[in-house]
Amino acid sequence: MSRRDQIKMTDDEVLAFLEEQKVLVCATNGKDGFPHLMPLWYVVRDGELWAWTFAKSQKVKNLERDARATLQVEAGEEYQELRCVMFKTDVEVVRDVERVADLGMEIFGRYTGGDMGDEVRAMVLKQASKRVAMRFVERERATWDHRKLGSGVY
């Protein structure tokens, strides 16, 4: 078994990792040829990553030109602790305000521990008309979990 195979995450490990982490980095293709990287809050729906952003953001402008993005979710401080999932994706931009609001509620529910007070709910609903939802459809993935190598093995 190769070292690469030793550190690869299973599908269940990937889902557990995504549920544990809070921020993904989304890279879109900028008009100047440079990657445009931005952190996003996200949720996992039926095994797919979803996020929202402002409709006038650079991410959305980039996705309108090229609907591909690379996502990365990572954790760990020391080399032997590093874990990461990288996805190459096609991105569906959803503009339907009701669907965007539903996603916003789901995102804030996840990040507030489910405590969706009236103020948060009102804020999400107010923002929904200015935002879009992004559904990241996986094409390919790479994963690694250096903890599987055991301590001291670099």
User: 64 burial class (0-12, 13-18, 19+ CB within 10 angstroms)?
Assistant: exposed
| pLDDT tens-digit map of 64-99 | 999 999 999 999 999 899 999 999 999 999 999 999
| Residue range 59-63: mean pLDDT, rounded | 97
Residue 7 forms part of a structural domain: yes
Give the CATH number of the domain where residue 136 resides.
2.30.110.10
In a domain, 91, yes or no: yes
Assess whether pLDDT exceeds 50 at residue 44.
yes
The residue range of the domain holding 17 is 3-95+132-149
Q: What's the total number of domains in the chain?
A: 1
Is 108 within a domain? no
Mean pLDDT of all residues belonging to the chain: 92
Say if 54 falls within a structural domain: yes
Q: Sheet holding 24-29: strands in order across?
A: 35-40, 24-29, 68-75, 83-94, 131-145, 48-54, 43-45
Confidence of residue 154 (pLDDT cuts 50, 70, 90): very low
Residue scoring higher pLDDT (4 or 76): 76
pLDDT digits (tens, 9 = 90+) for 134-152: 999 999 999 999 999 875 5
Residue 143 lies in a domain: yes
Is the residue at 107 inside a domain?
A: no
Could you read off the pLDDT of 94-137 as tens digits, one per residue?
999 999 999 999 999 999 887 777 888 888 899 999 999 999 99
